[in-house]
């Protein structure tokens, strides 16, 4: 198949999923064309049948805001025409699904079979609608105009159907993991760079947006550190980083916290950790949690979110109510104090992640969905 992929190219779950998917599809012999304003974050190796097409916005005094979405739609149409794409797979409804719709309209006269559109919903596209109702109609329209819709969890599929009153099928295709890269290895990472032998290493990876509840991470860690020798590893960048630094200072934790900024190879860091924290307010799936589990790191996350489809409560982590930092810290301390249980959780984490979310299995689900849409 000839597949066009559009995603946000910055560090973030939807871009990472789109990028890994494109690479896996190219490996399976498909021709993949990324169309975006920058080279996607983890698109860092050469593959013969994988191409990137950059979208250049035009600066003109009249434009207070350069019309990126129009340029993107025009570029998508151009790539589709030149490379005879079978489908556009867009990640994140706003604005990508709308751009795909427009690109398809642009092609109706010149292509006998313009590309079909598949939209994958990642979650924050729905939250965004919650915070800015002006997006509601366009998001609903472009989701419905797609030939195939997928969501990264059942939690998100149900929420989308309810919020947008959609009775069309929303296919659940979970995030996936390359178990050869994300594995529990002691040689892959250098634990001594981060913590002493007798210290526990707690990790958190995110884009530090309010939805991630970064202050809860600090609060939970502060409570753990009051009971046990421990270090906190923070990976990522984002708006709440300033708050986090302030809170760390206020709680006298400065020498216990390590900031690594954005990292494209988290698989070289995660296996060092003993525990991963993801106390998000909302999480449609939690790719960061899956990456940690696959590296053999138990996860503490929030109940009532898509994390319930990833973390197995009391087997490889704990699911606790949003904001209940006291219970999260208690669960963490009890687990870290019980070496046998911790080892069992670590084993189960790696096993469960690789069995349930193996890239081989999940990429096949995308391929099947593509075929169904093309044959319809
Ligand atoms: O986590 C983020 O805020 C980034 C966001 C995105 O769209 O880039 O991630 C979302 O998509 C990921 C990949 O499907 C999911 O694993 C994350 O759970 C989801 N984030 C949220 O729902 C907050």
Q: Whose CA is nearest to atom 7 of ligand 1?
A: 14
**For residue 18, how far is its CA from the centre of ligand 1 (angstroms)?**
12
Across the range 258-279, mean pLDDT stands at: 94
Cβ atoms of 67 and 37 within 8 Å: the answer is: no
- pTM of the complete model: 0.95
Q: How many whole angstroms separate alpha carbon 19 and alpha carbon 28?
A: 14
Kindly tell me the sign of the dihedral angle through the C-alpha atoms of 64, 119, 18, 353.
Answer: positive
Task: From 119, 174, 284, 301, give the residue whose CB has the most ligand 1 atoms within 8 Å, as the site to mutate.
Answer: 284
Q: What confidence score (pLDDT) does residue 126 get?
A: 77
Q: What confidence score (pLDDT) does residue 125 get?
A: 80
β-pairing, 171-172 vs 299-302, is unpaired
- The 10s digit of each residue's pLDDT in 168-192 is 999 999 999 999 999 997 666 688 8
Q: Whose CA is nearest to atom 20 of ligand 1?
A: 283
- Residue ranges lining ligand 1, Cβ < 6 Å: 12-15, 17, 92, 122-124, 152, 175, 207, 209, 211, 280, 282-287, 306
Across the range 48-59, mean pLDDT stands at: 91
Q: What confidence score (pLDDT) does residue 144 get?
A: 95
**E-state strands within 294-374:** 299-302, 317-320
pLDDT reading at 290 higher than 80: yes
Nearest ligand 1 atom to alpha carbon 280: 23
- The 10s digit of each residue's pLDDT in 360-370 is 999 999 999 99
Percent share of the chain, pLDDT over 70:
98
Nearest ligand 1 atom to alpha carbon 17: 13
Nearest ligand 1 atom to alpha carbon 206: 1
Return the closest-CA partner of residue 266 out of 182, 185, 353: 182
352 vs 58: which has the higher pLDDT: 352
Q: How many whole angstroms separate alpha carbon 375 and alpha carbon 288?
A: 34
The helix (H) or strand (E) run that includes residue 154 is helix 154-164
Domains of the chain, CATH where assigned: 2-176+358-375 (3.40.50.2000), 186-357 (3.40.50.2000)
Residue 359 pLDDT class (50, 70, 90 cuts) = very high
Q: What confidence score (pLDDT) does residue 187 get?
A: 65
- The 10s digit of each residue's pLDDT in 309-354 is 999 999 999 999 999 999 999 999 999 999 999 999 999 999 999 9
**For residue 197, how far is its CA from the centre of ligand 1 (angstroms)?**
34
Cβ atoms of 159 and 130 within 8 Å: the answer is: no
**For residue 125, how far is its CA from the centre of ligand 1 (angstroms)?**
9
């Amino acid at each position: 198949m000839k597949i066009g992929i559009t995603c946000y190219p910055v560090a973030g779950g939807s871009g990472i999923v789109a990028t890994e998917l494109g690479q896996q599809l190219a490996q399976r012999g498909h021709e993949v064309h990324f169309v975006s304003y920058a080279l996607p974050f983890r698109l860092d190796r050469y593959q013969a049948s994988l191409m990137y097409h950059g979208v250049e916005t035009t600066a003109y005094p009249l434009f207070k805001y350069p019309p990126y979405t129009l340029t993107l739609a025009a570029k998508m149409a151009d790539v589709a025409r030149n490379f005879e794409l079978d489908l556009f797979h867009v990640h994140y409804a706003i604005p990508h699904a709308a751009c795909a719709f427009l690109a398809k309209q642009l092609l109706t006269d010149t292509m006998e079979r313009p590309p079909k559109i598949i939209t994958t919903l990642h979650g924050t596209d729905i939250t965004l609608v919650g915070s800015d109702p002006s997006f509601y109609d366009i998001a609903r329209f472009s989701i419905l105009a797609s030939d195939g819709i997928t969501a990264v969890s059942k939690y998100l599929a149900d929420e989308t159907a309810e919020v947008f009153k959609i009775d069309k099928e929303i296919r659940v295709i979970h995030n996936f993991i390359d178990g050869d890269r994300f594995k529990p290895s002691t040689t892959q990472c250098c634990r001594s760079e981060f913590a002493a032998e007798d210290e526990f290493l707690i990790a958190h990876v995110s884009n530090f947006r309010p939805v991630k509840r970064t202050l809860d991470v600090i609060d939970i860690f502060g409570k753990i550190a009051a009971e046990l020798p421990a270090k906190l590893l923070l990976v990522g960048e984002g708006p709440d980083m300033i708050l986090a630094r302030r809170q760390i200072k206020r709680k006298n934790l400065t020498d216990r916290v390590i900031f690594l900024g954005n990292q494209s190879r988290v698989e070289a860091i995660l296996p060092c950790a003993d525990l991963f924290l993801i106390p998000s307010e909302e999480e449609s799936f939690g790719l960061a949690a899956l990456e940690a589990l696959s590296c053999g790191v138990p996860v503490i996350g929030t109940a009532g979110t898509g994390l319930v489809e990833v973390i197995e409560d009391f087997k490889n982590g704990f699911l606790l109510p949003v904001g209940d930092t006291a219970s999260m810290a208690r669960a963490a301390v009890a687990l870290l104090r019980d070496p046998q249980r911790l080892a069992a959780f670590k084993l189960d984490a790696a096993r469960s992640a690789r069995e349930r979310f193996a890239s081989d299995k999940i990429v096949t689900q995308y391929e099947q969905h593509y075929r169904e849409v093309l044959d319809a």
